[in-house]
Amino acid sequence: MSDQSKPVTPKPYDSAPSSRQAVKFLTAATIGTILLVLSGLTLTGTVIALIIATPALVVFSPILVPAGIVIFLATTGFLFSGCCGVTALMALSWLYEYVAGKHPPGADQLDYARMRIANKARDMKERAKEYGQYVHHKAQEATQGS
């Protein structure tokens, strides 16, 4: 049914891309081609370097493998230490801003959580007091009954 409303032959100027679209396509195709060629050259160079370096890696592997492990562990340790230090500084900075009243991000959530904890503690205190009175009353009934 919808085929009847469409013209049988499309007009050529409706489907032709504009010059701006053509330039965009040519630019993208050129950049993509250049990057693909560079990727292939890099892969080829890496494979050739690996083929050339393989005998040296095999000969020196008893030295290189432990040295690589030590370098990896030392680097990982330094990075982890630095990340912990940056995190600690950020936390202390946030805490200072919170205590100074500068209202850092997340302070509303912290205040809300603190208020909920205080309300729960107050409710538990009241329940414990009521339960203590109940137990005291039951104890008095038990002593008076015997």
Q: Residues in the chain with pLDDT < 70?
A: 1-15, 146
pTM above 0.85, yes or no: no
* Residue 72: predicted pLDDT: 95
Is residue 104 within 8 A of residue 94, CB to CB? The reply is: yes
Q: Write out the H or E segment, with its range, that includes residue 129.
A: helix 107-145
Name every residue whose Cβ is closer than 8 Å to that of residue 103 and which is 6 or more positions away in sequence.
97
Q: Write out the H or E segment, with its range, that includes residue 38.
A: helix 19-99
What does the angle CA 63 – CA 66 – CA 68 come to, to the nearest 5 degrees? 100
- And the tokens for 15? 């489907």
* Residue 101: predicted pLDDT: 86
